[in-house]
């Protein structure tokens, strides 16, 4: 999984899964453009860790939950590094709540941030890759929520299901340009966001139910992303790769 001479853009790279992906791609030789929201306290930390790996890294703040922000991030990235070979699209927003009481504004915000932003970023990057004429890799970070109907997550579940079908459709359309498009479905991953959502008792009761007997790490998703971004995955496109330690099998 050698990524030497490749340049990757990873969105949401300040922490969690995005950071895990950025670090794993850098470990395999990719130079990086990393993005997080404006004012992120985490982006500089990720940037320093990638520099410590000996890789070139450019940090670009930007609100990728809207089209203009995506355009600005892509423009700054291309200006800084000259061209991009890999996109790891990792935007997400989720607020749990009962369906019958769910705020329509939160529904729209979740779809915009989790699904529509992926459309904007991938479209802009695909156009850039087509203009370069050298193919490329687009990898979406989806979720097991796409197929597991978790209660109190109606908007997030719908957004991730839509993301999967969007990835397959894009893959079919850009294959002639030798752009591989795939998605990764993480299971339960040990991220700051999960600790903000759940208390310690949730971890204590649920982790033993994971068939692999541990919670996933951001690096687990990063290693899958590095594989899909590499030449070893040249013949893989339109695929949804589940990386969950068997989480979806826990009740079988």
Structure tokens, 45: 């930390």
- Burial status of residue 28 (CB atoms within 10 A of its CB: 0-12, 13-18, 19 or more): buried
Residue 156, Cα to own-chain centre: how many angstroms? 14
Q: Give the number of other CB atoms < 10 A from CB of residue 221.
A: 28
How far, in Å, CA of 112 to CA of 149, rounded?
A: 20
- Residue 186 contacts residue 243 (beta carbons within 8 Å): yes
Compute and round to an integer the Cα radius of gyration of the chain: 17
How far, in Å, CA of 22 to CA of 49, rounded?
A: 10
**If you average pLDDT over residues 99-121, what whole number do you get?**
98
Percent of the chain with pLDDT over 90: 92
Q: How does the average pLDDT of the chain come out, rounded?
A: 96
Structure tokens, 37: 């929201």
pLDDT interval class at 101 (50, 70, 90): very high
How far, in Å, CA of 23 to CA of 104, rounded?
A: 36
Beta-carbon contacts of residue 86 (< 8 Å; ≥ 6 apart): 3, 6, 7, 8, 9, 25, 30, 136, 137, 138, 139, 229
Tens digits of residue pLDDT in 147-200: 999 999 999 999 999 999 999 999 999 999 999 999 999 999 998 888 887 777
What does the pLDDT read at residue 196? 82
What does the pLDDT read at residue 206? 87
**pTM summary value:** 0.96
Tens digits of residue pLDDT in 77-97: 999 999 999 999 999 899 999
* Options 93, 150, 156, 235, the catalytic residue: 156
Structural domains of the chain, with CATH: 7-249 (3.40.50.720)
Buried b (16+ CB within 10 A) or exposed e, 138-173: bbbbbbbbbebeeeebbbbbbbbbbbbebbbebbee
| In the block, residue with structure tokens 């969007």 | 166
Closest by CA position to 17, among listed 200, 220, 207, 173: 220
What does the pLDDT read at residue 200? 79
Question: Is 93 known to be catalytic?
Answer: no
């Amino acid at each position: 999984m050698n990524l030497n001479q490749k340049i990757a853009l990873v969105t949401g790279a300040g922490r969690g899964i995005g950071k895990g992906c950025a670090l794993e791609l850098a470990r395999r030789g990719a130079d990086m453009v990393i993005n997080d929201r404006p004012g992120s306290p985490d982006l500089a930390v990720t940037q320093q860790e990638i520099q410590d790996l000996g890789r070139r890294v450019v940090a670009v703040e930007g609100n990728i939950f809207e089209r203009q922000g995506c355009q600005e991030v892509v423009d700054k990235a291309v200006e800084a590094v000259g061209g991009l070979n890999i996109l790891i699209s990792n935007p997400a927003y989720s607020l749990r709540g009962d369906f019958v009481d769910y705020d329509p504004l939160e529904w729209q915000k979740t779809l915009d941030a989790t699904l529509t932003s992926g459309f904007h970023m991938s479209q802009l990057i695909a156009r850039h890759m087509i203009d370069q004429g050298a193919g490329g890799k687009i990898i979406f970070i989806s979720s097991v929520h796409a197929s597991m109907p978790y209660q109190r997550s109606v908007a997030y579940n719908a957004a991730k299901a839509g993301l999967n079908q969007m990835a397959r459709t894009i893959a079919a359309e850009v294959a002639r340009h030798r752009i591989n498009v795939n998605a990764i479905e993480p299971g339960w991953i040990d991220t700051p966001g999960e600790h903000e959502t759940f208390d310690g008792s949730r971890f204590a009761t649920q982790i033993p139910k994971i068939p692999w007997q541990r919670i996933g790490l951001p690096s687990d998703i990063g290693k899958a992303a590095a594989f899909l971004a590499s030449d070893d995955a040249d013949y893989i496109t339109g695929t949804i790769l589940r990386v969950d330690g068997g989480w979806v099998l826990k009740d079988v």
